[in-house]
Structure 1
Amino acid sequence: MDASQRVHETFLERVKAGDLPSLDPLEIDQELLRQLWRAQLISRHMDRAGRWLQSQGQGFYTIGSSGHEGMAGVALALSVEDPAFLHYRDGAFQAARALQAGQDPIMDFALSFAASSDDPISGGRHKVLGSKDLNIPPQTSTIASHLPKSVGTAFALGLNKRRGLTEERLALCSFGDASLNHSTAQGALNTAGWTAWQGAPLPLMFVCEDNGIGISVKSPEGWVRAVLQSRPGLDYAEADGCDVVAAYRAARNMAERIRKTRRPGLLHLTCVRLYGHAGADVESTYRPEAEIAAAEARDPLLYTARRLLDSGHEEADIIEQYESVEAECYRAAEQAMTRPRLSSAAEVAASILPPKAKAPIPNAPDPEAREAAFGPADLRALKEPQAMNKLINLGLTDLMLSYENIVLAGEDIGRKGGVYGITKGLQNRFGATRVTDTLLDEQSILGLAIGLGQQGYIPIPEIQFLAYLHNAEDQIRGEAATLPFFSNRQYANPMIVRIAGLGYQKGFGGHFHNDNSLAVLRDIPGIVIGCPSDGAEAVRMYREAVRLVREEGRVVVMVEPIALYPMRDLMEPGDGLWTRRYPEPGETAPLSSLRTLGEGTDLAILTYGNGVYLSEQARHDLNASGIAARVIDLRWLTPLDEAAILKAVGTCEKVLVVDECRRTGSQSEALCTLLAERSDRPFARVTAEDCFIATGPAYAATLPSREGIVAAAKDLMA
């Protein structure tokens, strides 16, 4: 017999026979108990209806919540206003919160299971738990990837309180026992404890739903409890998650403590998993029959039936309620099959970008406050040509004066001012709550930013080196960039990620500190990648990045070329030709805009970052040899504005692409494809080798050079 049918029939038989678990009495309001019961029934029967939809070829995702219905108790222990980041087995939580808010969730669940475009959270793009009204951002998978942003959200709530705002909310984050072993979970738990250990407010409730098995691999006996209890900075409690009343009381007590102390807590709920991992999973192939039977004997609905009987309900009433909700759920499933679905690429992709918003124009910084923030030395620096490192620092200062909700976060950015001094002095100017030193964990840094962005801040997290992004890239790819898509544009993760990167550092660091690949970012739908080539460009682009965050909810990644931070000279020592004056207020570099250096029509050089600096040197040499060239600074690498690029190339006879990233997977591939498809001009490219960067004298051996650009240009023009 199918497991879901077996559990269904067993429940009815045991209720009729009065064969229910014996439980210690626990006081609970009877109306609350009825609400918990209905939420559990909705979750259970929608799991079954989802499997029925799949059997009809009309359902597409059957990881269910059966066995985890105790989470209804956690939901009703909290407020609808508390942000909740849910494990994918938390249908009962969402059902209970919907009932708490006066909503009937059945049809919403049915539309999600049927992948209907009428699904109110994802618009038919995925079967996800989530609701804007219920403050549940959708999750597509919860292999711990949502834990870092829950820490970030709790940090934002604590920051609200420190800023004097009225704020009593806490954040809820639930996850499974198998996910506990993921590095992302370990990092998030560590970050929460690390933060709380230092006295920073972090109102966060973690809930570990421990059903003892991850797909087919058991959690070692006692392992989860030992790991959770050992976490410094996190208050621990446990309860039997099969008993919804016990779960409610434990969650209520922890929530009251968190709201009072603003310290994080960790609730360990023991659960069972019914029906196997998902619809296609045959549990009996890897789990003994006795073990499956023992789990089914702990069906949470049997526990709630006992609580109902003990509070005066009749067995017939319990069965009638059970069957009535079953009928409601199946009727909704039948209706959902008839509702529209997405059918075209345009419909699917319509939610890639968040909707645009009219953000209020900030008042100009008070002149006296601005003068005090900069100080005499930096006020002089504003009027004199500077290198990129100084201009970025000045630009960030002005932006933080203009927007009080900007928060910088990253390793070493505070007292030290970052590895390269870019944020030097900003913590003294704006305080540690706005310029925050984090622990060494890139996943947690980006998760912090996601949480801050969802709560109305403009987060500017820093990843210390480009190569370090690989430790945390899923926080951008799987979390920040996908949220508009899977929420049908109801949620966004606006942020500006600062990354020091690319090559040409003279003999320092090797491939960990000289990483010349942006491939991991380029194919993520919806994000923006910028790469400034000088200090004034960086200031203009950061101003645009803040606009993109405020008005368009975008994820912007700014890759700052490390080698250009201190660069002052272009052609010869002391010429100062690569320093720039601070841009006037209002000067920006709009998304998709390009910058053209030179007016030559023989050759157009398409490039960015360090490539602009090298190509400008090469342009001087080429002009001297009779080749009139122009250098086109792309500025924004994603999205590429193809029409703007072709317009900037103009009447040039030929095009040379100069790309400091590796030949395979670099921007040059897209640029050359564009030229091949939409232009009849001859073209060539100069790229880095498909090789890592060496430390020492050979630091630039694999990278494009001034001489190499000149040689390639002459070959192309011959």
Structure 2
Amino acid sequence: MDRVAIVHENFLRRVAAGDFPVSTSDKKALDRAALEQLYRAQVLSRALDLQSRVMQKEGQGFYTIGSSGHEGMAAVAAALRVDDIAFLHYRDAAFQIARADQAEGQDMLRDMLLSFACSADDPISGGRHKVLGSRPLMIPPQTSTIASHLPKAVGAAHSIGMARRNRPEHAILPRDAIAMCSFGDASANHSTAQGAINAACWTAVQGVPLPLLFVCEDNGIGISTKTPTGWIKASMSARPGLKYFEGDGLDLHAAYAAAKEAADYVRVHRKPAFLHLRTVRLYGHAGADVATSYLPRAEVEADEANDPLLHSARLLVEAGMNADEALEIYRETQDAVAKAAAEVIKRPRLKTASDVMASLVPPKRTCAASNGPSAEVRAETFGSDMAQMDNPQPMSRLINWALHDLMLSHPETMLMGEDVGRKGGVYGVTQKLQGRFGPGRVIDTLLDERSILGLAIGMAHNGFVPMPEIQFLAYLHNAEDQLRGEAATLPFFSDRQWTNPMVLRIAGLGYQKGFGGHFHNDNSLAVLRDIPGIIIACPSAGDDAAMMLREAHRLAREEQRVVVFVEPIALYPMRDLLEAGDGGWMRNYPAPDQRIGLGEVGVTGEGADLAIVSYGNGHYLSQQAAHDLAEQGVAARVIDLRWLAPLPEEALLAAIGDRPVLIVDECRRTGGQAEALMALMAERGVERFARLTAEDSFIATGPAYAATLPSREGILAAARELVG
């Protein structure tokens, strides 16, 4: 017999014989009715686990990581409220079932079977994944990523406190709600989990409200690697700012008592807590995993002997239920699940690419109209800066003013990042903002990019429009999964029911003279370009930057999009274009109501001999080269892409017309934007086209800072060669 069958038969035999495991607690926190309700949730979770394996064998189910052994999470659900947002571990089916029992109109039996079957009728993912999640139950869906949901749980908890003082239009969490996230003992070792827990502690010790409950479900093993005995308690019980609780997840009384005490602490004190809950893992890690292949049989059998359903049956018998009644609930639930499964597998599934992709882009939402601040308020906020707005300014100043106007017009807009507040940013782009809007809206974060993005994602869950900053593009790489695995996938895996809109500002690209080498001059956008659903913007001039930033904010606020706004560092201070002192790259600040819409390209010149297509620093250099070409009798049109994803294909092709095309890409030849543009030219029948890119190299510090990058002279030579 396999271990699934053994656990099943053991339960039937031992309950019938009154052979129960020894109690680990003397707590009596629940009455009989509450015990029975939670037991029914546990039994349904177990029956669904069993059915998922049957469905997989029949080719009708597609994911079998189950919750068996972790059914004690039903007690944690009972200790929380339905409107406490919960970011769940993938073994927490019992939590979701028990929470559904606290609400109306929920049918978890059918809903979870639809998820197992990847049916298009699945109410959470629409058939895209087997996930736990529910909009009515305040459970955003998580996939099987390891601990990547913890940073956004920190952000969601922070948003609850912020919303007390500044409630966004689209806030969903009550003033006294708490946030909860659960994870396994193995996941607790992941750097993402450690960073999130550290961020919570770092925040709490400064007195900032953070009502967050971490729940660690400790079954002692991660796939095949054991957790050292005592490791979780030793490493978590003495964290500054974090209150530690522990309980036995095998015993409903003990689990509920510990969870209630921890949740009450968080709710009353508005501080984070860590609930360490003992569990066991039954059946191995997943459907294909055989635990006895890497664990001694005696250890596997010891966990099976501590089946939480056996403990729950014991508690019910002690409370006056007949053992036969406990068995009947078990059998009836299995029969009901099998019967429902026979119908569920007949429901339609996704078939086409358009079916699958229908949830990539979030839905638009209705937002209250905003006419912006009065002239008096605006003048008071900007102060002496108002006198300079009639004069041309470099990009950094115009972005700063655009941020001011956005924050004046939209109180739900928040900035966060390293040094964005008191210092005003590494390059001064966010200077004066914290002084004018306060540290609650311009947040100086700890040095952890995952936590910065998690803060933004979590706050977006509660109606804020976050604008996080990553200091340098290269710093994004250790946190990129927060974009790919969390922010971009949320609408996809929730069938557009959950969103986390934001505008992520990143200072990036190359051409900084003698500063930092590849860590401060990162000329690769490939890590962003392959994330489905996100928008990538890259301005080249200050007025464009201001107007594009307003559009990026509108896309986040009204269309719930995730926008990455890449600001070319080398162009922040740029003043001149052709020669020193000409002021040719400074611009006037556009009126606050002016925007550049998504998909609009920039066009300079009517030259019919050549079209030069570029963006960012490449556009700046292309303008220089176009001037040189004109002196040599070649008339060029220079096109600024502005929007790198999705590519503005139709607008670009219309601007090109029938001209030969030179693509100038400051990113690397492999994985750069030019690859997509070259493919577009070939697919759309452009007759003559070529590309000039950066080399496949990191960037050096010192005099050779631009040696691997396109140059004014290089563009001129490539253009001459193309036009003959």
Calculate the TM-score normalised by the size of structure 2. 0.98
User: Could you say what secondary structure the match of 1:6 adopts?
Assistant: helix
Aligned to 2:477: 470
2:685 aligned partner, one-letter code: S
Tell me how far apart the structure 1 counterparts of residues 337 and 276 of structure 2 sit (CA, whole Å): 30
Which residue, 217, 224, 235 being the options, matches 2:232?
224
701, 704, 707: which is aligned to 2:707?
Answer: 701
Residue 22 of structure 1 contacts residue 306 of structure 1 at CA under 8 Å; is this kept in 2? no
Query: Aligned partners of 2:388, 2:317: CA distance in 1, in Å?
Result: 77
- Kindly provide the amino acid, as one letter, of the partner of residue 75 in structure 2: G
Query: How far apart are 1:99 and its partner, in Å?
Result: 0.9
| Equivalence map 1:244-393=2 (5 Å) | 244-375=252-383, 377-393=384-400
Does residue 11 of structure 1 match 2:11? yes
Q: Deviations over 1:587-640 (max 9, x none)?
A: 111111101011111100000000111000000000110100011000000000
CA contact (8 A) 2:421 2:443 kept: yes
Q: Distance in 2 between matches of 1:640 and 1:25?
A: 62
Q: Partners of 2:334 and 2:78 in 1: how far apart?
A: 22
* Kept in 2: contact 1:47–1:65 (CA 8 A): yes
Q: CA deviation at 1:29?
A: 2.5
Is residue 188–residue 194 contact of structure 2 (8 Å, CA) maintained in 1?
Answer: yes
Q: Tell which deviates more after alignment, 6-15 or 225-234.
A: 225-234
Q: 1:81 to 1:659 in 2, by over 3 A?
A: same
Determine helix, strand or coil for the equivalent of 1:237: strand
Q: How many residues align?
A: 716
- Mark the runs of 5 or more structure 1 residues left unpaired by the alignment: none
* Offset of residue 27 of structure 1: 3.5
Question: 1:150-187 CA deviation, whole Å, 9 max, x = no partner?
Answer: 00000101111233796000000000000011100000
In the TM superposition, what whole-angstrom CA distance separates every residue of 1:542-594 from its partner, at most 9, and x where no partner exists?
11001101121100000000000000110111111101000123211111110
Task: State the partner residue of 1:22.
Answer: 22
AA at the equivalent of 1:495: M
Code of the residue aligned with 1:494 in structure 2: it is P
Aligned: 1:630 with 2:637: yes
Aligned to 1:564: 571
Please state if 1:536 is matched with 2:538: no
Q: In the alignment, which of 66, 69, 90 is matched to residue 68 of structure 2?
A: 66
Contact conserved, 2:662 with 2:691, CA < 8 A, in 1?
yes
CA shift for structure 1 position 25: 4.5
Deviation at residue 7 of structure 1 after TM alignment: 0.6
State which drifts further: 428-437 or 97-106: 97-106
Aligned ranges 1:49-128 → 2 under 5 Å: 49-102=51-104, 103-128=106-131
Partner of 2:683: 677
Match in the other structure for 2:171:
none
Distance 2:240 2:686 in 1: 65
1:460 partner amino acid: M
Structure 1 residues 686, 247: closer, same or farther in 2, change over 3 A? same
> Which residue among 130, 133, 136 is the counterpart of 1:130?
133
Q: Deviations over 1:623-670 (max 9, x none)?
A: 110100011000000000211111010232x10000000111000000
User: Is the 2:512–2:569 contact (alpha carbons within 8 Å) kept by the matching residues of 1?
Assistant: yes
- Letter of the 2:216 partner, please give it: C
**Contact residue 466 and residue 515 of structure 1 kept, 8 A:** yes
- 1:438 pairs with 2:445: yes
Tell me the distance in 1 between the aligned counterparts of 2:190 and 2:327: 41
Q: Is the 8 A contact 2:128 2:356 kept in 1?
A: yes
Q: Does the residue aligned with 1:287 lie in a helix, a strand or coil?
A: coil
Matched, 1:198 2:224: no
Instruction: Name the amino acid aligned to 1:136.
Output: I
Alignment check: 8 A CA contact 1:40 1:92 kept: yes
Residue 609 of structure 1 aligns with which residue? 616
Q: Report the AA paired with residue 672 of structure 2.
A: S
Letter in 2 for 1:223: W
Residue 364 of structure 1 deviates from its aligned partner by: 1.8
Distance 2:167 2:293 in 1: 57
1:501 aligns with 2:508: yes
- 8 Å CA contact 1:188, 1:444 repeated in 2: yes
Q: What per-residue deviation string (whole Å, max 9, x for no partner) do you get for residues 58-105 of structure 1?
A: 000000000000000000100100100000000000000111113231
Instruction: State TM-score, norm by structure 1.
Output: 0.99
**SS of equivalent to 1:138:** strand
Separation (CA, whole Å) in 1 of partners of 2:231 and 2:10: 31
> Who is 1:175 aligned against?
183
**What SS class does the counterpart of residue 66 from structure 1 fall into?**
coil
CA distance in 1, matches of 2:139, 2:447: 29
Name the SS of the counterpart of 1:533 in structure 2: coil
- Give the Å deviation of 1:232: 1.5
Verify the 8 A CA contact 1:382 1:394 in the aligned structure 2: no
User: 2:612 aligns to what SS in structure 1?
Assistant: strand
CA-CA distance at 1:392 after TM superposition: 0.4
Match of 1:37? 39
Letter of the 1:87 partner, please give it: H
Alignment match of 1:515 (pick from 519, 522, 544): 522
Distance (whole Å) between structure 2 residues aligned to residue 86 and residue 27 of structure 1? 24
1:687-715 residue CA offsets vs partner (Å, 9 max, x unmatched): 10101000001000100000000000001
Q: Is the 8 A contact 2:517 2:705 kept in 1?
A: yes
Q: Give the partner amino acid of 1:369.
A: V
Report whether the alignment pairs 1:716 with 2:722.
yes
The Cα shift of 1:5 comes to 1.2
Rounded Cα–Cα distance in structure 2 between residues aligned with 1:33 and 1:625: 87
The separation in 2 between residues aligned to 1:381 and 1:61, in whole angstroms, is 61
Write the letter of the residue equivalent to 1:19: D
Distance in 2 (CA, whole Å) between partners of 1:3 and 1:159 is 49
Secondary structure at the residue paired with 2:139? Answer: coil
Confirm or deny: 8 A CA contact 2:27 2:254 kept in the other structure.
no
Task: Give the whole-Å Cα distance in 2 for the aligned partners of 1:161 and 1:186.
Answer: 28
- Contact residue 47 and residue 66 of structure 1 kept, 8 A: yes
In 2, distance between residues paired with 1:152 and 1:667? Answer: 33
Partner SS state of residue 662, structure 2: strand
Match for residue 236 of structure 1?
244
Counterpart amino acid of residue 265 in structure 2: R
Aligned with 1:60: secondary structure? Answer: coil
Q: Residue 398 in 1 paired to residue 398 in 2? A: no
Pick which of 352-361 and 234-243 moved more: 352-361
The answer (yes or no) to whether the contact 2:166–2:412 under 8 Å persists in 1 is: no
Question: Residues 394-449 of structure 1, C-alpha deviation per residue, up to 9 Å, x if partnerless?
Answer: 00000000000000000000000010000000000000000000000000000000
The one-letter code of the counterpart of 2:574 is M
> Which secondary structure does the structure 1 equivalent of 2:675 belong to?
helix
Instruction: State the Cα deviation string for residues 455-485 of structure 1 (Å, max 9, x = none).
Output: 1000000000000000100000000001111
Distance 1:324 1:255 in 2: 33
List alignment gaps of at least 5 residues for structure 2: 169-173
How far did residue 30 of structure 1 move? 2.5
- 8 Å contact from structure 2 (residues 364, 560) kept in 1: yes
1:415 touches 1:427 (CA, 8 Å); kept in 2? yes
Residue aligning to 1:185 = 193
Question: For residue 46 of structure 1, what is the aligned residue in structure 2?
Answer: 48
2:101 alignment partner, SS class: helix
Q: Does the 8 Å contact 1:189/1:231 carry over to 2?
A: no
Q: Is the 8 A contact 2:141 2:494 kept in 1?
A: yes
Q: Distance between the aligned counterparts of 2:253 and 2:136, measured in 1? A: 26
